[in-house]
A and B are shown apart, each in its own frame.
Chain A
Amino acid sequence: MADVTWTPEGEKLFAKLLAAVPEAMREPIKPKLIQMLAQRAGSGSIDEAAIKTMVQEDLPEPQKSALMQAIGMQAPPQQEGPVLEWSGKSEIMFELMLGEVPEGMRSIFRGKLSAVIAQKTQGGAVTDDHVNAVVNEIVPEPFKSNILKKFKTLGDFDPAIIAAIVERFGTSRDKLMFIMHAVQDEIGYLPREAMLAISDKTGIPVSAIYSVASFYKAFRLQRPGAHHVKLCCGTACHIHDTAGVGREIEHKIAASPGVSIEKTLCLGCCDCAPVVEIDGKVYKGAEAQAKIDSITLG
């Protein structure tokens, strides 16, 4: 493509156009754009008019509107995105998707993508599947992979839970741990997105929420296994576990992918030491062994 020639104005405008393209896409898309421009310009140099026509006629929405605006053209009339009714995690997913768009272009993308989704839902509520479909169909790489990866770590929880919990406790700082405990009780752990949502609803900085979540052992930042075992590390359990049952349990669980383990402060059942807590219930002796075997072998 070395044979393409530019008018000075055309070259300037093209630089402006490229600057508006998100950085990650700039290099891969550059040759394609030049190819389209070469077709527009025919045998002549690429000038401003050719660029404008190309953007207006060859590019798909919503990139078209965004780039038209970026190079100072009158973008087609902005439609307010349709009012959507969200369900499940769709709203959080939608916002995550928009988070990948450069800030200046976000409002245009919001309107256009809402319109695409509205077409899919036919007036019904937006589901997670609708948002997934939009990402898969129209979002280019590498954004698609990024967004889909974020969806995966979104945690399988309903954001409405967090709104309801914050509503119940209020937003002052001393309520933070109440909220975090309640959220963890609901979801099973504190996913990153849940902490972001708590911050969003309460106005407490995410940094403060993360410091509390990582300081206190009661909060889990990873999803626990289908079965969760707490191994008591109290004095009485230590004294009574002369046979090394605790270590044996650790080994068994390490070999069982669906089971998670946590060493915990004294469970306060010192009279029947050594004890373990399995899925919220305390077991000792032979029952504990049998229960551990039933969850690790199964």
Chain B
Amino acid sequence: MITCADDLVKAKEQGNKRLFGSRVRVNVGTSTCCLAKGAELTYNALAYGITSAGINAELVKTGCNGMCWAEPVVEVHQPGQPKIIYGKVTEKEIPRLVKAIANNEVLADLAIARVDSEDHILVGSIDYATDGASLAGHPVAAIETTDFAKMQHRVILRNAGAIDPENIDEYIARGGYFALAKALTMKPEKIVREVTESGLRGRGGAGFPAGIKWRMCREAAGDVKYLICNVSEGEPGIGMHRSFLESDPHAVVEGLIIGGYAIGARTAYIYVRDNYRVALQRITKAVNDAREAGLLGADILKSGFCMDIIVKEGGGRYVCGEETALLSCIEGKIGEPRQRPPFPTNSGLFGKPTCINNVETWANIPVIIEKGAAWYSAIGSAKSKGTKVLSLAGNISRAGMIEVDMGTKISQIIDVTGGGIPGGKKLKGIQPGGPSGGVLPASMARLTIDYDELAGAGSMLGSGGMVIMDDSNDMVKLARYFTDFFVNESCGKCVPCREGVCRVRDMLDELIAGRSDKTALKAFGDLAAPITKACACALGKTAMVPVTSTMKHFRADYDSYLQ
């Protein structure tokens, strides 16, 4: 049980014993993305190899460190020496890896990078290479010099891949729950002010200032209030919320407890998509572990504050990512959006004031409390503060989960962190944040990761699922794919969305079949206006964006189909 700050320190020691024991520690990434590439086989082969070779090792299942392009990833840390990150460790590499671990050698050809020390946001420097041996001429590159890592700033992803996500002590060892202890000694108003001053904007898409939302919910009338963590992540092409929950679930739990204390809510829901089996299982375990440790429930850390968290499995509909549809879903109804106002901060779940933020927003909270608003607001651009977690996918050499400061240029993310476009092809389009953000042309890669800059270009940052497209992609067919997605995901409440988008898909089919002339392109514009204006929710309002944005930026693709 953790009932005071001293208990946290004890748990921290326990966790550090696991992280930095006297034995070699071997981390195997086992997020869904890793498992898809055979990480379970890797883990089992390693377990067998290590046991049969008689090696005294700590073999741990961790989350994803973001290097999805190199999975299965295995990290080996011999006490006192740099931690070595190995990539593409398939089953057949295991015999020589086990041998190398037994003989304390490094497999330079398999290694991606070495970690001498980590500059951790919460606990400062975490040193791996402590034995004083010279690292000059080490056969493996230091992580901070690699293209993948050098532009990244791991604030949210500070623990991803390094800790066992199912072990609360390891989270505490890396500064976890200390922000909660600090927050519970602060006045709730002060916490809300701190979040406001940090400049944190909701990471869900629109970028509404989190502090203002918190204040509205805090000041709303009523004793019963709710918090919701939205992990719907229904847009195609995004995997970082799943990955994050699978890698560092306690960060979300801690953010929610702090939020509950600040806003005056005693119940929080974490809404997770039903497709995310591993994430559901890990967040459920994290909530249960926190409850068992006394960090949830009655009288948390002897502050008198009580709170509980309920993990809610979703139903697999994109529209449930829309906040009012999400409320209906948690209430056990079909996920149809509601009219706003009233806004959820006044009348949300069960008609009570409700504060809805997404995973990444909640995960930012412990950092803001621990480091302070001034520290946080120094990161990022003028109006978009902090960092942004992005999932990089599509036609890119290094697809994965990355985190960069707000204000970073998209072209740099593609060329440096992502390693450029593979196969000698050229960049054609960028989808910065889900289908609702549309597709931007290659020339707009000069834009930066910034809410207002992307909105100014007619797109949106969205929740950060960046899909890169090379010049082999046909934008008309891509628009048809996205439109088909919106047709399938329309909840059917508003006619323009239910019927209009269907019609647009039919028209695209006609166009692709070569049966349309110029008037068809005008018809797209005529249909776009009412659909954009007359739908109740953002899903319908943005359903035409894939077509209008590709028509605007890739007109040649459309023209090539015309009669």
Please tell me if the beta carbons of A265 and B32 are within 8 angstroms of each other in the complex: no
Quick one: which of B237, B315, B333 contacts A218, CB cutoff 8 A?
Answer: B315
Q: Which residues of A contact B236 (CB under 8 A)?
A: 233-238, 265-266
Q: Which residues of A contact B435 (CB under 8 A)?
A: 235
Quick one: which of A242, A272, A281 contacts B68, CB cutoff 8 A?
Answer: A272
Task: Give the contact stretch, choosing among B140-148, B189-197, B273-281.
Answer: B273-281
Nearest Cβ in chain B — how far from A170, in angstroms?
11
Please tell me if the beta carbons of A281 and B334 are within 8 angstroms of each other in the complex: no
Q: In the complex, what residue of chain A is closest to B484 when comparing beta carbons?
A: A233
Q: Which residues of B contact A282 (CB under 8 A)?
A: 32, 35-36
Q: Which residues of B contact A211 (CB under 8 A)?
A: 334
Please tell me if the beta carbons of A269 and B32 are within 8 angstroms of each other in the complex: yes
Nearest Cβ in chain B — how far from A215, in angstroms?
4
Interface string of B301-317 (1 = CB under 8 A from A): 00000000000111111
Cα distance, A267 to B393, chains bound together (Å)? 13
Nearest Cβ in chain B — how far from A23, in angstroms?
37
Residue B465 is within 8 A (CB to CB) of chain A in the complex: yes
Cα distance, A36 to B469, chains bound together (Å)? 85
Task: Give the contact stretch, choosing among A60-68, A106-114, A172-180.
Answer: A172-180
Residue A296 is within 8 A (CB to CB) of chain B in the complex: no
Cα distance, A173 to B33, chains bound together (Å)? 35
Please tell me if the beta carbons of A270 and B485 are within 8 angstroms of each other in the complex: no
Please tell me if the beta carbons of A212 and B332 are within 8 angstroms of each other in the complex: yes
Please tell me if the beta carbons of B316 and A272 are within 8 angstroms of each other in the complex: no
Residue B239 is within 8 A (CB to CB) of chain A in the complex: yes
Please tell me if the beta carbons of A217 and B316 are within 8 angstroms of each other in the complex: yes
Residue A280 is within 8 A (CB to CB) of chain B in the complex: yes
Q: Which residues of B contact A272 (CB under 8 A)?
A: 33, 36-37, 68, 71, 399
Cα distance, A119 to B313, chains bound together (Å)? 47
Please tell me if the beta carbons of A269 and B316 are within 8 angstroms of each other in the complex: no
Residue B13 is within 8 A (CB to CB) of chain A in the complex: no
* A216/B334 contact (C-beta < 8 A), A235-B237, A265-B316, A271-B239 known: yes
Q: Which residues of B contact A235 (CB under 8 A)?
A: 236-237, 393-394, 431, 435, 465, 467, 481-482
Residue B234 is within 8 A (CB to CB) of chain A in the complex: yes
Q: Which residues of B contact A1 (CB under 8 A)?
A: none
Q: Which residues of A contact B274 (CB under 8 A)?
A: 181, 218
Quick one: which of B35, B243, B334, B467 contacts A236, CB cutoff 8 A?
Answer: B467
Q: Which of B484-498 contact A (CB under 8 A)?
A: 485, 489, 491
Please tell me if the beta carbons of B315 and A173 are within 8 angstroms of each other in the complex: no
Please tell me if the beta carbons of B332 and A218 are within 8 angstroms of each other in the complex: no
Quick one: which of A175, A234, A277, A283 contacts B332, CB cutoff 8 A?
Answer: A175
Quick one: which of A242, A264, A287 contacts B275, CB cutoff 8 A?
Answer: A264
Q: In the complex, what residue of chain A is closest to B472 when comparing beta carbons?
A: A242
Quick one: which of A175, A230, A268, A270 contacts B467, CB cutoff 8 A?
Answer: A270
Please tell me if the beta carbons of B315 and A280 are within 8 angstroms of each other in the complex: no
Residue B171 is within 8 A (CB to CB) of chain A in the complex: no
Please tell me if the beta carbons of B469 and A239 are within 8 angstroms of each other in the complex: yes
Nearest Cβ in chain B — how far from A295, in angstroms?
17
Q: Which residues of B contact A242 (CB under 8 A)?
A: 472
Q: Which residues of B contact A240 (CB under 8 A)?
A: 394
Nearest Cβ in chain B — how far from A156, in angstroms?
23
Residue A151 is within 8 A (CB to CB) of chain B in the complex: no
Q: Which residues of A contact B273 (CB under 8 A)?
A: 265
Interface string of A277-296 (1 = CB under 8 A from B): 10011111001000000000
Residue A275 is within 8 A (CB to CB) of chain B in the complex: yes
Please tell me if the beta carbons of B234 and A236 are within 8 angstroms of each other in the complex: no
Please tell me if the beta carbons of B275 and A265 are within 8 angstroms of each other in the complex: yes
Please tell me if the beta carbons of B393 and A271 are within 8 angstroms of each other in the complex: yes
Q: Which residues of A contact B277 (CB under 8 A)?
A: 280
* A284/B314 contact (C-beta < 8 A), A175-B332, A271-B393, A271-B400 known: no
Q: Which residues of A contact B394 (CB under 8 A)?
A: 235-236, 239-240, 270
Q: Which residues of B contact A266 (CB under 8 A)?
A: 233-239, 275
Residue B335 is within 8 A (CB to CB) of chain A in the complex: yes
Q: Which residues of A contact B233 (CB under 8 A)?
A: 266, 268
Nearest Cβ in chain A — how far from B81, in angstroms?
29
Residue A219 is within 8 A (CB to CB) of chain B in the complex: yes
Nearest Cβ in chain A — how far from B205, in angstroms?
16
Please tell me if the beta carbons of A181 and B36 are within 8 angstroms of each other in the complex: no
Quick one: which of A215, A237, A273, A277 contacts B315, CB cutoff 8 A?
Answer: A215
Cα distance, A217 to B234, chains bound together (Å)? 12
Nearest Cβ in chain B — how far from A123, in angstroms?
43
Q: Which residues of A contact B334 (CB under 8 A)?
A: 211-212, 215-216
Q: Which of B311-332 contact A (CB under 8 A)?
A: 312-318, 329-332
Cα distance, A273 to B69, chains bound together (Å)? 11
Nearest Cβ in chain B — how far from A87, in angstroms?
31
Nearest Cβ in chain A — how far from B328, in angstroms?
10
Please tell me if the beta carbons of A218 and B314 are within 8 angstroms of each other in the complex: yes
Please tell me if the beta carbons of B395 and A239 are within 8 angstroms of each other in the complex: yes
* A267/B275 contact (C-beta < 8 A), A216-B335, A233-B485, A235-B394 known: yes
* A236/B393 contact (C-beta < 8 A), A215-B317, A266-B236, A269-B33 known: yes
Q: Which residues of B contact A280 (CB under 8 A)?
A: 277
Cα distance, A113 to B331, chains bound together (Å)? 43
Q: Which residues of A contact B312 (CB under 8 A)?
A: 177-178
Q: Which of B211-253 contact A (CB under 8 A)?
A: 233-239, 241-243
Please tell me if the beta carbons of A265 and B393 are within 8 angstroms of each other in the complex: no
Q: In the complex, what residue of chain B is closest to A242 when comparing beta carbons?
A: B472
Q: Which of B396-422 contact A (CB under 8 A)?
A: 399-401
Nearest Cβ in chain A — how far from B249, in angstroms?
15
Q: In the complex, what residue of chain A is closest to B68 when comparing beta carbons?
A: A271
Nearest Cβ in chain A — how far from B487, in angstroms?
12
Please tell me if the beta carbons of A270 and B237 are within 8 angstroms of each other in the complex: yes
Please tell me if the beta carbons of B237 and A234 are within 8 angstroms of each other in the complex: yes
Please tell me if the beta carbons of B333 and A268 are within 8 angstroms of each other in the complex: no
Q: Which residues of A contact B335 (CB under 8 A)?
A: 215-216
Q: Which residues of B contact A277 (CB under 8 A)?
A: 275
Nearest Cβ in chain B — how far from A221, in angstroms?
13
Q: In the complex, what residue of chain B is closest to A264 when comparing beta carbons?
A: B275
Q: Which residues of B contact A271 (CB under 8 A)?
A: 33, 68-69, 71, 239, 391-393, 399-401
Residue B207 is within 8 A (CB to CB) of chain A in the complex: no
Cα distance, A237 to B316, chains bound together (Å)? 18
Residue B79 is within 8 A (CB to CB) of chain A in the complex: no
Quick one: which of B331, B465, B485 contacts A173, CB cutoff 8 A?
Answer: B331
Nearest Cβ in chain B — how far from A116, in angstroms?
42
Q: In the complex, what residue of chain B is closest to A214 when comparing beta carbons?
A: B334
Nearest Cβ in chain A — how far from B393, in angstroms?
3
Q: Which of B35-49 contact A (CB under 8 A)?
A: 35-38
Cα distance, A281 to B277, chains bound together (Å)? 9
Please tell me if the beta carbons of A268 and B238 are within 8 angstroms of each other in the complex: yes
Nearest Cβ in chain B — how far from A30, in angstroms?
49
- Could you give 13 example pairs across A and B, Cβ below 8 Å? A174-B332, A208-B333, A215-B334, A216-B317, A217-B316, A233-B485, A235-B465, A236-B467, A238-B236, A266-B236, A267-B32, A270-B393, A283-B36
Known: A265-B275, A266-B236. 11 other contacts (CB 8 A): A174-B332, A175-B332, A181-B313, A233-B485, A235-B236, A235-B394, A268-B276, A270-B467, A271-B392, A282-B32, A284-B37
Chain B interface residues (CB < 8 Å from chain A) = 32-33, 35-38, 68-69, 71, 233-239, 241-243, 273-277, 312-318, 329-335, 350, 391-395, 399-401, 431, 435, 465, 467, 469, 472-473, 478, 481-482, 485, 489, 491
Give the 10 A-B CB pairs with smallest separation, nearest first.
Answer: A216-B315, A270-B393, A271-B68, A235-B237, A271-B399, A268-B239, A234-B236, A176-B332, A217-B316, A218-B316
